Amino acid sequence: MNAPSPVPRLFGEEFAARPDVAYQQLRQSGPVATAEIAQGVYALVVTSHRAAVALLNDTAVFSKDSRNWTALNQGWIPQDSPVLALMAYRPSLLYADGAQHARLRQAMDDCLARIDVHELRETTHRHASRLIARIAPTGHAELMRDFADTLPLLVFVDILGCPAQLVSRMVTACQGVIGADAGAMQAAADFAACLAELIAAKKEMPGRDVTSWMLAHPSQLTDEEVLHQLFCFVGAGTIPTAAWIASTLRLIQDDDSYATRLTAGAVTVRGAMDHTLWTCSPMANFSAHYARWETLLHGVPIPAGVPVLISHAATGTDPALPDLGPDNRAHLAWSAGPHRCPADNQAGVIAQTAIEALLDQLWDLELTDPTVPNRPGPFHQCPAALPARFHPAPADALTSTAPTGGTG
State which of residues 41, 283, 354, 382 lies at the interface with ligand HEM (CB under 6 A). Answer: 283
Shortest Å distance, C-beta 364 to ligand HEM? 27
**What distance in Å separates the CA atoms of residue 174 and residue 235, rounded to the nearest whole number?**
8
- Does 353 help bind ligand HEM (rule: CB under 6 A)? no
Query: In terms of Cα–Cα distance, which of 107, 318, 323 is closest to 225?
Result: 107
Query: In terms of Cα–Cα distance, which of 89, 105, 106 is closest to 290?
Result: 89
CA max distance for the chain: 64
- Does 336 help bind ligand HEM (rule: CB under 6 A)? no
- Does 286 help bind ligand HEM (rule: CB under 6 A)? yes
Site for ligand HEM in 221-280 (CB under 6 A): 232-233, 236-237, 240-241, 244, 277
- Does 382 help bind ligand HEM (rule: CB under 6 A)? no
Backbone angles phi, psi at 137, to 5 degrees: -70, -20
Radius of gyration of the chain (CA): 21
Long-range interactions of 295-299: CB distance < 8 A, separation 24+: 295/61, 297/31, 297/32, 297/46, 297/51, 297/54, 297/55, 298/30, 298/31, 298/32, 298/48, 298/50, 298/51, 298/54, 299/30, 299/31
Q: Specify the stretch interacting with ligand HEM by CB under 6 A; choose among 27-35, 65-73, 315-323, 342-350.
A: 342-350
- Does 405 help bind ligand HEM (rule: CB under 6 A)? no
Q: Specify the stretch interacting with ligand HEM by CB under 6 A; choose among 125-133, 162-170, 200-208, 339-347.
A: 339-347
Name the residue type at position 62. Answer: F
State which of residues 49, 127, 217, 339 lies at the interface with ligand HEM (CB under 6 A). Answer: 339
**Helix (H) and strand (E) counts for the chain?**
17, 10
- Does 381 help bind ligand HEM (rule: CB under 6 A)? no
Site for ligand HEM in 111-170 (CB under 6 A): none
- Does 88 help bind ligand HEM (rule: CB under 6 A)? no
Residue 390 or 403 having the CB closest to ligand HEM = 403
Residue 31 or 342 having the CB closest to ligand HEM = 342
- Does 378 help bind ligand HEM (rule: CB under 6 A)? no
Residue 228's contacts (CB-CB under 8 Å, 6 or more residues apart) are 90, 91, 92
Q: How many chain residues touch ligand HEM (CB under 6 A)?
A: 27
Residue 103 or 261 having the CB closest to ligand HEM = 103
